[in-house]
Each structure stands twice: as C-alpha cells, then as structure tokens.
Amino acid sequence: MIKVLLADDQPLVRAGLRALLDTEPDLGVIGEASDGAEAVRLAAELEPDVVLMDIRMPRLDGLEAARRLAGSPVKVVVVTTFDLDEYVYAALRAGASGFVVKDAEPAEIRHAVRVAARGDALLSPAVTRRLIERFAAQERPELDDRRLGPLTVREREVLAGVARGLSNTQLAERLFMSPATVKTHVNRMMTKLGVHDRAQLVVLGYETGLVRPGEPA
C-alpha cells in the first residue's frame, strides 16, 4: 500500500483528499498536517511514501517544506489552487515530484500519487507547457557544459528526451535500446547530477540549455 501524508491548512480539503484516496485499495492516508512544519515532522515520524502538499500554509509554506524533505525517500506532490507559473517552477526547484491543482479530476490526483510513489514525475500537460514556454524561454541559457560535464554523450541524449517529456518506452524506441537500459541511464544521471527525480531532470535540461522551447520532441 502507498502511504500518504496530507498537508493542507484547510480541514475540509484534507477530508476531501482522505475520502478520495482511502477508497482505493492500494492507497492509504496515514496522517494529516495543517502546516509545513508539521508536515516535515510527521514525514520523519510516519515515513510516508508520498506527501500531498499545499503551497500556502501558515508557519512554514509548502515550498520550504518540500525543500526540507528533498533528499529523503519521501516524494512530494504539490496540490494547490494556485497554478501560477512561478509556483510550478519553485515547486520543481524545491524537489517536488509532481504538481496538480485542487480542481483536477479525482483520477488525476490518485494517478499523481501512484506516479510519484514509483519515482517518476507528473505534471499536468497545461502546466508543463506553461513551465517550458515561460521560464525556459525567458532564460534561454547557453549550453552549460560545466553542469553537464559528468554525463556521457548517451546520457545527454537521454536527459534531452526526459526534459522533452518522453517516457522510458518512447526513449527506448528513439534511441534503439531497451526501457530497462533507459531506466539505468536515468538513475545514473540522477546520481551524477545530484537530483532526486525526473521532475528535477526536466528543470535541469532546460536550465542548462540542453533543450530549448520550440524544439521538436
């Protein structure tokens, strides 16, 4: 069973998310937090697989809570009413594995929990498109070989595909390798680059200039 911790300052929202998740046989809510500080504390005590984290909370907001959980086995999925681009970008930079808005379909929220639990990243297509168009296009950095230096040529190809949103299966077909080999490359890249999931690889791909908005996938 995937263990979930809810972090939101609104009791009704937490109750709704609990009802949404506890009806699934493979999902279970093991705790609730009303602010970011409590979420960090309960994550250490209860060891959930996934934290569904609101952004705007008292004492400690969800972004800072996500930063404090970065590097731990816990995966963070940001669930908020605020789908502004700056929050999306900040959440990914903080180490979040996914970003969904509260008015998303119930199936999308459940899917986000499952995807994050298995170590992948999930962003709504509209969120991904805005993230790429606004932030990556705004910076348009030159290729940063210093940050990409540890990667082999093949790993750079895989990173470029991950940043463009391709799945392991799609990458395997394009690069003529097995999905298992692609997964091995992804895991090695995360170790070399010091990132924790695919969401951070996406950010890194654009920040280093390896991929640019408008380029074909």
Q: How confident is the model at residue 159 (pLDDT cuts 50, 70, 90)?
A: very high
Rounded-to-integer distance, Cα 94 and Cα 105, Å: 25
Q: What is the 3-state secondary structure (H, E, C) of 57-102?
A: CCCCCHHHHHHHHCCCCCEEEEEECCCCHHHHHHHHHCCCCEEEEC
Residue 63 has pLDDT above 80, yes or no: yes
The percentage of the chain sitting over the pLDDT mark of 70, rounded to a whole number, equals 83
The mean pLDDT value of the chain amounts to 83
The pTM assigned to this predicted structure is 0.68
